[in-house]
Chain A
Amino acid sequence: MQDQIKQALIDNPSIKNPDLIKPGQLVALRTASTTMCLAPIDLSETNKVKHLWGIMNPETQKAIKETSPLYNGLSLGLAGGGTALFTLEKTLKSNMSLLRGIPDAYHQYKSGAITKYQFDKIRASKLNLYTKNIGPMINKGIYGDTKVKNAFRLPPGRSLHATKSMTQHLSKLSKISSAVSKGGVVLACVGLASSCYQVSQAETLPEKNEIAVKAISSTIAGAAIGVVATVFLVSTPVGWGIVLVAGAISAVGSWGAGELAGSVYKSNFSDTDVVKSLGITSICN
């Protein structure tokens, strides 16, 4: 009998005192035919996971614990990726005004306002500045091995639709930029959902609170950095170097704010039950 109780305690790490089992508490018991009891029909998903965790062998539990930081890093990376994509979208958008001037210059040339030589100079200077601003990586990603100049080359014959390829190209860039921006929102939501999942999976209340504090703080910091950066960048076309720096600052800033908040919470506010007071437990279940 004592051996069976010891075995039950090993199989059920949540039971600290074998004389105190609460009503509704799930207990894993070994029988002759099977290694687990049949779970009640109304067992919640959380309890099922806890139950499965209880009957896992220690090696599996250890492997899962060792890989759990990956999930944490993934959610923070997703939040940072969202802000980085936002700044990438900003680069493309803010530099579009340079390209917009090329079809306009072409119409000026056709109406006789400027000469062919002047148009070629305008086109070359705008394309060079655009290529420089968006940088080699984005350039390669959008245009591949062909150069940006090919998209803005006048077709042979110079028909009435000479600027058609240019407007098509602008439309393509517009779609890429819009998709990138939507991707940022999706990534931010996925990051929050990932944190929510971690809160639901955390075993202890302090762990749940710490994850929630980190997620909330990095979201607040990400939103604040996004708004402040927009005010600064909204009036000027920015180069790829600035975007890389801004993207890195946004990603590291929101991640760092989360980590800082987690540390501050542990050292100064660990008595506050954040998940309960904000109703996060019920949302994330």
Chain B
Amino acid sequence: MIDKYIIISTVLFLGMGGAIFIVLFPLLLVQHFIYKKTLDPTYFNNNYFSLHELAIYNSFPLFLIKTIAYIRAIVFPKTMQKIFESKIIIPKENKVIYFIAWASMLIIIYCGIVLINTVIMAILFYSNK
């Protein structure tokens, strides 16, 4: 039973690696260029970001943090009210952006779940050794 669980957990972990490096990072890069055209003109200014953030979010890899901030604001707008105050896009008018943001967030949630599962697997693996 434990062997099957370890095999499933290993597959999930490798899947997480694939999801991050093959799907998530390219998605983040695509979204970076989308948001650069659609959201940056409105939100990437001193009203929403500090001067420091405006300076450093222009270069790799730090612009990915800005992209993740936008994704969280699109998917869970209430959790980003401190920064953006209101919804930054209207889902019905920007279906593609909304869908991609949700896909990215689901991968990140998947990563969180797999990380928790990996901790459980480690406990079981070392306790059965």
Contacts and interface: CB of A to CB of B under 8 A. Distances in A.
B79 interface: yes
B50 A178 contact: no
B56 A174 contact: yes
A91 interface: no
A264 B2 CA distance: 12
Main DSSP-derived SS at the B contact region: helix
Contacts of B79: 235
What is the size category of the interface that chain A forms with chain B? 35 or more
B82 A216 contact: no
Given A181-B62, A228-B111, A263-B125, A234 B69 contact: yes
Main DSSP-derived SS at the A contact region: helix
A227 B72 contact: no
B3 A268 contact: yes
A220 B10 CA distance: 12
What is the size category of the interface that chain B forms with chain A? 35 or more
Interface string A18-47: 000000000000000000000000000000
Interface in A68-96: 89-90, 92-93, 96
Interface in A178-235: 178, 181, 185, 216-217, 219-221, 223-225, 227-228, 230-231, 234-235
A260 interface: yes
Given A224-B115, A228-B108, A264-B10, A174 B122 contact: no
B68 A230 contact: yes
Contacts of A96: 50-53
A269 B50 CA distance: 49
Nearest to B70: A234
Contact of B115 (A100, A185, A225): A225
Contact of A178 (B7, B62, B82): B62
B74 interface: no
A174 B52 contact: yes
Interface in B65-88: 65, 68-69, 72, 79-80, 82-83
Contacts of B112: 228
Which of A93, A256, A268 lies at the interface centre, i.e. has the most chain B CB atoms within 10 A of its CB?
A: A93
A264 B62 CA distance: 34
A261 B10 CA distance: 8
B65 A234 contact: yes
Nearest to A97: B50
A257 interface: yes
Contact of A227 (B6, B20, B55, B126): B20
8 contacts: A170-B51, A178-B62, A220-B16, A230-B65, A260-B122, A264-B10, A268-B7, A269-B10
Interface of A: 89-90, 92-93, 96-97, 100, 167, 170-171, 173-174, 177-178, 181, 185, 216-217, 219-221, 223-225, 227-228, 230-231, 234-236, 253, 256-257, 260-261, 263-264, 268-269
Which 6 A/B pairs are nearest by Cβ-Cβ distance? A220-B17, A96-B52, A224-B111, A97-B50, A100-B50, A96-B50
